[in-house]
Structure 1
Amino acid sequence: MHRLLTGPLRVENLTVAIPNLPARLQGIKLAQLSDFHYDGGRLSDALLEEALAVTNQAEPELILLTGDYVTKKPEPIHKLVLRLKHLQSRAGIYAILGNHDLKYQHSKTEITQALTQIGIGVLWNEIVYPLGPELALVGLADFWSGEFNPKPVFTLLDQMTPRIVLSHNPDTALPLQKWRVDLQLSGHTHGGQIVLPKIGPVAAFLKPMRRATPKPLRRWIPYLSGNCYKVVEHWEWAAGFYQLGNNQLYVNRGLGSYRPGRLFCPPEVTLITLVNSPSCSLDEFQKPTLLGKVL
C-alpha cells in the first residue's frame, strides 16, 4: 500500500517481566511480526523489506509470527516465503495462523507447508521449547477456526513453568484468564488502523453506529455494509501492552493495511526483552483473574 496511506514503520521496544524466568534467559530478545496481508495491494515490498531488515538487525533469539500472511486466497504465501526465508534468529522462527489464513478449505495446508518448507515452525494447539525446558512457547489455533481449545494444551504444562502464548485474536485473552499466561502475543486488529487521539480506534464505534443506522442505508456507508464491526469484541485491547490480572497481553498493529489506510496507527515490528520478576506462588496462578480482579 502507498506510504501516504500507511505511514512509516515503527519499531516498538517492550520489556516484559516474567516470574520464574531462569537466569540464563534474562535479557533475551524476541521479535514479533504480524498481519502481513501480502497480496500485492495491502503491503508494499519496500515496507516488508524494511521490517525484515530491522528484525534481523536486532539479532533476536526468537522470531514469532502471529498470523494473517494472506488476505483471501493462499497463493501469495509462496511469494511471501521467498522474503521471509531471509529472517534470522538464534533459536528459530515460529508462527501461528490467523483467520485470513483459513479462508479456503486448502488454505491451512498450503500456508503451513509453505512456511514449514523454509524452516518456520507452525503451531496449532501445540507446545515447543525452543529456548529450553524452562520456557514454553504455546501456539493456539485461531479463535474463529472451531479448533481453539486451550484446555488440553495447558494441562500439559507444569503450572510453574513460564510460558509465552501465541494467539492471533486478542479476544482470546478473556477465556485464557483460566490459565497462567506470562505473555500473550496477538495481532488481528491492525491497531484499528484509524485512531483518533484521546478517543481511540474509530472501529470501536462501528457496532453502535451500525445499530443506529437503518438497514437500507448501511450498504452505502463504508465499513457498515460488511463484517468489519465483527473484527473483535474488545477494542480496548486494540494495540499495545495490557496487564489482565496475572496475565499479560501485547497486541501488534501489524504490517498490512486495508483501505483507506492508517492514521496515527503506524505498522510495526515489536522487539521484546524478557526479564525476571519476583517469583509468584502456585496459588496465585491458580486463581482466574480479569483486569486485576479475582473472579
Structure 2
Amino acid sequence: MKERMIIFSAILFIILLVLDLYSFKGVRTLTADLTHQASRRGIHIAFWVFSIGVYLAMGWEFLNFERYRVPGEAHVFFMINSLILMSLFSKLIFVLFHGMEDLSYLAINLYKKFTTSANSVNPEGNTISRGKFLTYLGAGIASVPFGSIAYGMIKGRYDFRVVKETLKFTNLPKAFEGMKVVHISDIHIGSFPLGHPSVEKAVKMINQLDADILLFTGDLVNNLANETDGWLEILGQMKAKVGKYSILGNHDYGDYIQWENKADRNRNLEAVKQANRDMGFDLLLNENRILQKDGEEIALIGVENWGKGRFSKYGDLKKASNGAEQHPFKILMTHDPSHWDGEVLDTDIDLTLSGHTHGMQFGVEIPGLKWSPSQYAYPRWGGLYQEAKQFLYVNRGFGYHAIAGRIGMPPEITLITLARS
C-alpha cells in the first residue's frame, strides 16, 4: 500500500512540476507587456508561492497520512486534495492553450523558412499578437475550474438545499396520504471541521420540514466510530413525528481500514451502530418495521449495504422483507442505488431510497441538462428514477468525502410527500 502511494505521489509531483514550468512560461508571456516591473514580479512570485505551497501540502499529506483517521482532521487532507485538483486542472487547461500559441508560432516560422515569398505571410508582429490571444484565452478559461473549486471549498460544500418531490401511488393506503418523508444520506461527519456551524444549520433545515418519518440511508462516518465524537448531540436533534430510521453504508463497516485484528473491526462497527441509536435512529439491519396509522399499515424495509462490483454485499433483501410481504405498500432503504437494478426491480417494492454516489460532488443540473461524472459508474446517480410503478430516489449526500468541495452538486435534504393517484 505504501509503495503504491510513493509511486502515485512521485508521478503526480512530476506532472505538476512539468505543468508549472510550462505554465510559468505562459505567465511570463502574459506579463511581458506590463510596464510596471513590481506588478510583473508580484504576479510571478504569487504563481510560485501557490505552486510551492501545493507541493509542501502534498508532502505534508504524504508524511502524515495516518493522521487522516484522527477525528476532526480528515477535512485538512480533503482540502489539500482540492488544492491539488485546482492546481492540476487549471494549469492543464492553460498549458493546452499556451501550447497552441507555441505550435502556431512554430508552424508560421517553418512556413516562412520554406517558402520563397515572405510577403505571403502576415507581418510577424500581427502573427505573434494573434498567437498570444490563445494564451490570454487559456488564462480566462483556466480561471473557471480554479474559481469553481475555490467556491466549492469555501461555500459549495456547506450550501445545503432542500429538494421536494411528490410521488403518487395507486396502492398507497388512504391513511398515509400526504405523509412527509425526509430523506438524508452520506453524512460523513468525519469530513466536517469539528463544530462547524453548517451541520447545526442543516439540522434546523431538516426540522423545519416537519417530517413524519426521517430516513437516513447510511455512511454516518468515513471509517471510524470516533469521528462522531462531539457531534452526536447536534445530530440527535433531528426530529420526526412518527420515527427516525437508518441503515448502514459501505463506509460504516470500516472495510477501508487495515485492522490489526477482526475484533477491533467488529468493535468499531458496533460503535457505529450505537452512534446511530444514540442519535435517536432505529437502525434497521436486514429487517423491517410496520408503520401504522388509522388502522392501516405500510412496511419500511432496511437492508445492510449491497453494492455491485468491489463493494460488499452485506444486504439480505429476502431476510429484510420477511413478514412485510402482505403489506400493500413498501418503502426500502438501501445505501447503494445499484441494488435497485440488481435485485429490487424484481420485487413489488414501491419506493426505494438510496445515496452513496454524492453525485461525485461535481456536475451540472439545469433545465434540459443533467450531467455528472458519476453517471459513468452509476446510471442511477442522483434524483428520481422510475420503472413502471416503482420509484427510486438517490439523495446526493449530506456531507462530502475525499475532496473538500461540491461544485454544482450541493449537499441535499430531500422531502418526499406520498400521495394517492
TM-score band by shorter chain is 0.7 to 0.9
TM-score normalised by structure 2 residue count: 0.55
| Structure 1 residue 156, shift from structure 2 partner | 2.7
Are positions 1:107 and 2:264 aligned together? no
What are the ranges of 5 or more consecutive residues in structure 2 without an aligned counterpart? 1-74, 76-152, 255-264
From the two aligned structures, give the one with the greater strand fraction. Answer: 1
Q: 1:38 to 1:151 in 2, by over 3 A?
A: same
1:205-224 alignment runs, 5 A limit? 205=376
| Structure 1 residue 81, shift from structure 2 partner | 1.9
Counterpart in 1 of 2:417? 273
Are positions 1:240 and 2:391 aligned together? no
Distance 2:359 2:292 in 1: 29
> RCO greater where, 1 or 2, for CA within 8 Å and sep 6 or more?
1
1:162-181 alignment runs, 5 A limit? 162-174=329-341, 175-181=343-349
Q: 1:27 to 1:74 in 2, by over 3 A?
A: same
TM-score normalised by structure 1 residue count: 0.78
| Structure 1 residue 202, shift from structure 2 partner | 2.1
Distance 2:371 2:317 in 1: 30
Counterpart in 1 of 2:238? 87
Distance 2:370 2:241 in 1: 40
Are positions 1:121 and 2:282 aligned together? yes
Secondary structure of the 1:21 match is coil
Q: 1:245 to 1:102 in 2, by over 3 A?
A: same
Equivalent residues of 1:61, 1:90 under 8 A apart: yes
Secondary structure of the 1:56 match is helix
Which residue type is aligned with residue 112 of structure 1? K
1:184-209 Cα shifts (integer Å, max 9, x gaps)? 0101000121114646112445xxxx
| Structure 1 residue 94, shift from structure 2 partner | 0.5
Counterpart in 2 of 1:192? 360
Counterpart in 1 of 2:215? 64
Secondary structure of the 1:169 match is coil
1:38-53 alignment runs, 5 A limit? 38-41=189-192, 45-53=196-204
Task: Pick which of 102-111 and 22-31 moved more.
Answer: 102-111
Distance 2:208 2:167 in 1: 20
From the two aligned structures, give the one with the greater helix fraction. Answer: 2
Equivalent residues of 2:154, 2:405 under 8 A apart: no
Which residue type is aligned with residue 330 of structure 2? R
1:148-189 Cα shifts (integer Å, max 9, x gaps)? 121233353235520110000000001111111211010100
Secondary structure of the 1:237 match is coil
Secondary structure of the 2:188 match is coil
Counterpart in 2 of 1:201? 372
What are the ranges of 5 or more consecutive residues in structure 1 without an aligned counterpart? 206-232, 278-295
Instruction: State which structure, 1 or 2, has the greater radius of gyration over its C-alpha atoms.
Output: 2
Counterpart in 2 of 1:212? none
Q: CA RMSD in A?
A: 2.2
Secondary structure of the 1:82 match is helix
Distance 1:23 1:176 in 2: 25
Equivalent residues of 1:67, 1:96 under 8 A apart: yes
Q: What is the identity percentage for the equivalent residue pairs of Structure 1 and Structure 2?
A: 31
Equivalent residues of 2:331, 2:349 under 8 A apart: yes
1:93-115 Cα shifts (integer Å, max 9, x gaps)? 10001011001433321111122
Distance 1:160 1:135 in 2: 6
Distance 2:364 2:240 in 1: 36
Equivalent residues of 2:184, 2:397 under 8 A apart: yes
| Structure 1 residue 71, shift from structure 2 partner | 0.5
| Structure 1 residue 3, shift from structure 2 partner | 3.6
Counterpart in 2 of 1:139? 302
1:9 to 156, 160, 164: 160
Counterpart in 1 of 2:316? 149
Secondary structure of the 1:135 match is strand
Secondary structure of the 2:282 match is strand
Equivalent residues of 1:92, 1:130 under 8 A apart: no
Distance 1:83 1:130 in 2: 26
Which residue type is aligned with residue 407 of structure 2? L
